[in-house]
Amino acid sequence: MEKSVNEEQVKRDHLSTWQEKGFDPFPSQVERDCDIASTKEKVDQEAKIAGRIMSFRRHGKSTFADLQDESGKIQLYFKADNLNENYEQLDLLDTGDFISVAGEIFVTKMGETTLMVRSFALISKSLEPLPASWFGLKDVETRFRRRFLDLLVNEKAKETLKIRAKVISFFRKYMESEGFLELETPILQPIPGGASAKPFVTHYNILEHDFFLRIAPELYLKRLVVGGFEKVYEIGRAFRNEGLSHMHNPEFTIFEFYWAYKDYQFLMDFSEKMICQAIEDIKGSREIEYQGKTIKFEPPFPRITLRDLILQDCQIDIDQHKDFDSLKQAIGDQGIDLRMEDIFNWAKLVDELYKKVSRPKIWDPIFVIDYPSELIPLAKKKADDQSKVAVFQLVCGGGVEVIKAYNELNDPIDQKNRLMEQAKMREDGWEEGQWFDGNFVDALEVGMPPTAGWGMGIDRFLMLLTDNYSIKEVIPFPTLRPLENEEGISENIV
């Protein structure tokens, strides 16, 4: 947003005048007996309210203003006859200033709730011009970089963050009602694990050792299951040192739970119930509008194997092409263009093929089940097909992956071997391969009961609920590239 130099200077001049007159432009105490929303119930009564001036309309000896707090907006009516010499102090107020006012609530002939001001006081002076509420911030990046201004004038942005708070509150209450315990796990970890992703690295000076920001809480939550907690979950921050896109932010909110003595089939039923209730409670319907189309969350959701999905979308049967070269040839024969430079093995090739030909076509929610075992080294293999793992992903909205869940691998010998295979792939150049965590293997050797684990990216779920194409819209302060100001000092990245 371009600043108006003249308007900014006027605001600073007004600040100086207030100070010269002996007023404190930033007092600590405020007289307020209700919020603005409550004034509708106080017609013909006295009220003391406070908020930010959003607009002024001066008409000689009468002035109207719009005052806003978090609960809503109200019209103020300043009349010279009521305020006497204090009326002149209105000339020192600007849009953006915070004031407290006292007076009588009435309703105009046009039906607008209004406060007849008997007294007012400046409680915080604004020094920067606000963007016009009907115009807002044009540039998308400026909206996120100056998020505080965006929230002031963009009701959709503010409502999105309110829905975010409601969603997180809903899940916590739901899990508590199901008997789950929320426990925090380390964000700084000596060994990253729980997902295939590149971590952020930091250095712990006292310990003289590199640590990693967690990419997932999974391995520590499963340690808690080993320790006797049968129903445990966490909602918290995770960090992945990967690219920025409309679906990816390096810092995001993850929701994971682990349930002893349950399996992934049970969790599909549980997911349907919980997700449908969340959507209905927050949106008032199981149908939501997303990017111009309707998504219907009506259980039971279809359950389709990864193999069947790919077969129906490109006529390639991955079970008939069980090695890398054969599958690569089949993909080429179908004229499907895949970037091959980051694909290290057959399972990764299957995953990229699915993301190319199938995932974007998924609109109403489905459970995609039974993935190649190499893709998810922490999941238990299917009893009837050791080449696949007992996994599902809930996908909808044109390929938005909302949930991933699976039967947790609790065989310490198998887990050790598969993590060592991942470590070997890391040595061969795959940066997203999982690290070997000997302490986690030790925990499994103590014994972990049959357990089902579940994970959701809260931000992606919110994209669907709030009809936002970009993940940045649902995060209060998304990650942005740092800028250099005139002095060459990097500004805050948000």
Q: Which residues are known binding-site members for Mg(2+)?
A: 401
Supply 159's token pair.
């409502």
Cα torsion angle, 364, 464, 356, 307, sign:
negative
Tokens 């404190």, residue? 24
- In this structure, the number of other CB atoms found within 10 A of the CB of residue 325 comes to 10
Binding residues: 401
The burial class, CB within 10 Å (0-12 / 13-18 / 19+), for 293 is: exposed
Considering only CA atoms, which of 237, 284, 257 is closest in space to residue 174? 257
For the CA atoms of 174, 176, 178, 184, the dihedral, rounded to the nearest 10 degrees, stands at 110
Distance CA 159, CA 139 (A): 20
3-class secondary structure per residue, the chain: CCCCHHHHHHHHHHHHHHHHCCCCCCCCCCCCCCCHHHHHHCCCCEEEEEEEEEEEEEECCEEEEEEEECCEEEEEEEEHHHHHHHHHHHHHCCCCCEEEEEEEEEECCCCCEEEEEEEEEEEECCCCCCCCCCCCCCCHHHHHHCHHHHHHHCHHHHHHHHHHHHHHHHHHHHHHHCCCEECCCCCEECCCCCCCCCCCEEEECCCCEEEEECCCCHHHHHHHHHCCCCEEEEEEEEECCCCCECCECCEEEEEEEEEECCCHHHHHHHHHHHHHHHHHHHHCCCEEEECCEEEECCCCCCEEEHHHHHHHHHCCCHHHCCCHHHHHHHHHHCCCCCCCCCCCCHHHHHHHHHHHHCHHHCCCCEEEEEEEHHHCCCECEECCEEEEEEEEEEEECCCEEEEEEEEECCCHHHHHHHHHHHHHHHHCCCCCCCCCCHHHHHHHHHCCCCEEEEEEEHHHHHHHHHCCCCHHHHCCCCCCCCCECCCCCECCCC
